[in-house]
Amino acid sequence: QVQLVESGGGLVQAGGSSRLSCVASGRTSNSYSMGWFRQGPGKEREFVASITWSRGDTSYADSVKGRFTISKDNAKITVYLQMNNLKPEDTAVYYCASRQGIYDPYKYWGQGTQVTVSS
């Protein structure tokens, strides 16, 4: 089992920045990569970004490229999502998730943290 706890977010003005954190605990040694997902009001949950624990390889959704940066701290078993130039359409509940292998689905999920961007 892997437990994930997100923090950060809140209310931000358009054009502003915010940083989310996700602390992992439990059997984290089996985790291959971490991802950030989001679900806006009335929308499906969508992929935002991911990073591998070992090499730090990253991947981003087109909608956030150039604005969001995912990073990690292996010692703290923590993943971050730095969000810059936020837009109202970034308003969503943001979730972090963990998967054990490159072809595995994301199995463990955090409880989510709300990010609201005002125009």
**In the chain, what is the straight-line distance between the N-terminal and C-terminal CA atoms, in Å?**
40
For every one of its 119 residues, what pLDDT tens digit does the chain have, with 9 covering 90 and above? 899 999 998 999 999 999 999 999 998 888 899 999 999 999 999 999 999 999 999 999 999 999 999 999 999 999 999 999 999 999 999 999 999 998 999 999 999 999 999 99
Predicted confidence at residue 28, as pLDDT, reads 85
Predicted confidence at residue 27, as pLDDT, reads 87
d(C-alpha 23, C-alpha 9), whole Å: 15
Residue 108 CB: number of other CB atoms within 10 A? 19
Predicted confidence at residue 29, as pLDDT, reads 84
Tell me the CA distances in angstroms from 16 to 19, 66, 77, 90, 100, one per residue in order: 11, 14, 27, 11, 34
